[in-house]
Amino acid sequence: MKRKKSAKRLQNQRTRMSTLRSGKSENKSIEESRILKDNLTKEAFHYEPTKKYYDHKYVVIGKMNNICQFCHAKKFSKETPGLCCMNGKIRLPPLEAPPQEFLHYMTGKHQNLNTFFKI
């Protein structure tokens, strides 16, 4: 919980510093960042957490209620077909079971569990 608050506080500080460097008022900068362009080309490369991407008229992907018939990945109803495994063309080997000691740590059954989480 502390890490989330700390990360949020750090992000807010970075936003304020960026705004001060640009010479804009903080409110104007935040408002500008919330206005989305009609064209989302390459927007993922310039992601801004203050933008409301979910409000964009072209961002309509629906609920995650579809299952890929090839790889069984959960997909959004409007998600591009083949995005997960290219319609069965890409096949990853099944994941191997993790080592038993690791499982003991993750399930809370290891004698040194407290030491593990302090690290």
Q: Residues 18-61: pLDDT tens digits?
A: 666 665 555 555 555 555 556 677 777 877 878 777 677 777 77
Domain segments of the chain: what residues?
A: 2-55, 60-91
pLDDT at 1 over 60: no
pLDDT grade for 86, boundaries at 50, 70 and 90 = very high
Q: Report residue 99 as tokens.
A: 């080592």
User: Cα(18)–Cα(24) distance, rounded to whole angstroms?
Assistant: 9
Residue 78 CA to chain centroid, in angstroms?
18
Q: What is the model's pLDDT at position 43? A: 77
